[in-house]
Amino acid sequence: MLFGSHFAAHAQAGERSGLGSFGHALLLVTGAALLWRQRYPVAVVCGTAGATLVYLAAGYPYGPVFAAVAVACFSAVVSGHRGAAWTAMGCLWAGHALVAHWLYRWLPPSGDSAASWGQELAIAAWVVAVAALSELARARREQWARERAERAQAARRRADEERLRIARELHDVLAHSISVINVQAGVGLALLDTDPEQARTALTTIKDQSKEALGEVRQVLGTLRTPGDAPRAPAPGLDRLPELVEQAASAGLTVEVAGDPPRLPPGAGLAAFRIVQEALTNVVRHSGSRSARVRIDADRGTLRLCIDDDGPATGAEAGGSGNGLAGMRERAAALGGTIEAGPRPDGGFRVLAALPIDAGPRTHAKEDDR
Q: Where in the chain are the domains?
A: 2-115, 150-369
Terminal alpha carbon distance of the chain: 48
Instruction: Using only the alpha carbons of the chain, give its radius of gyration.
Output: 39
Predicted local distance difference test score (pLDDT) of residue 7: 84
Predicted local distance difference test score (pLDDT) of residue 315: 61
DSSP string, 82-146: HHHHHHHHHHHHHHHHHHHHTGGGTSSSTT--PPPHHHHHHHHHHHHHHHHHHHHHHHHHHHHHH
Residue 209's contacts (CB-CB under 8 Å, 6 or more residues apart) are: 177, 180, 181, 184, 247, 250
Which of 215, 183, 218, 174 is CA-nearest to residue 202?
A: 183
Collapsing DSSP to helix, strand or coil, 270 comes out as helix
Predicted local distance difference test score (pLDDT) of residue 293: 92
C-beta neighbour count of 270 within 10 angstroms: 20
The series of mean pLDDT values per 10 residues for the chain, 370 residues long, is 84 79 90 92 93 88 86 90 89 86 75 73 82 87 90 87 77 73 78 79 79 74 61 72 84 86 85 88 82 89 90 59 74 88 86 81 44
Q: Name the CA dihedral angle for 34, 37, 43, 48, rounded to a multiple of 10 degrees.
A: 30
Residue 311's contacts (CB-CB under 8 Å, 6 or more residues apart) are: 287, 288, 289, 343, 344, 347, 348, 349
Predicted local distance difference test score (pLDDT) of residue 39: 92
Alpha-carbon distance of 175 to 181, in angstroms, equals 10
Residues 221-242 have pLDDT tens digits of 776 666 555 555 566 788 888 8
Which option is the CATH number for 150-369: 3.30.565.10, 3.40.50.300, 3.40.50.740, 1.10.287.3510?
A: 3.30.565.10
Q: Edge-to-edge strands of the sheet including 338-343? A: 254-258, 291-299, 302-309, 349-356, 338-343
Predicted local distance difference test score (pLDDT) of residue 228: 55
**C-alpha of 313 from chain center:** 41
Which of 118, 2, 108 is CA-nearest to residue 60?
A: 108
Alpha-carbon distance of 300 to 170, in angstroms, equals 32
**Neighbour-count burial of 77, counting CB atoms closer than 10 A to its CB (0-12 exposed, 13-18 middle, 19+ buried):** buried
Collapsing DSSP to helix, strand or coil, 257 comes out as strand
Q: How many residues does the chain have?
A: 370
